[in-house]
Amino acid sequence: MTTLKENDGVYPGQYWIIITKYEQSGELIKTGEIDSETGEDILFEKPVNRLPKIYENYHESQLRVTVPDSGIRDIVLELTTR
């Protein structure tokens, strides 16, 4: 978790959490732009979230963590399947 810059931590309080695990899907998507050197369509590989959709929405997942004034170093979240 981060606030203003990478690895700076967060302020004490309660936080809702979303979790995603994006990987490449193998599906190529046109960007609508043309490479000026080759004249070919610019493509990118569409990422896909490999975790259940419920974890993308904090209202559905209900995952929360409370960071005390003293702070915490690690947060362990165990995801299970039904």
Predicted local distance difference test score (pLDDT) of residue 81: 67
Length of the chain: 82
79 vs 28 pLDDT, higher one: 28
Instruction: Kindly report the backbone phi and psi dihedral angles of residue 59, in degrees, each rounded to the nearest multiple of 5, phi listed first.
Output: -70, -35
Average pLDDT of the residues in 35-57:
92
| Helices (H) then strands (E): counts for the chain | 1, 4
Average pLDDT of the residues in 47-76:
87
Predicted local distance difference test score (pLDDT) of residue 30: 92
- Extract the tokens encoding 52: 């259940």
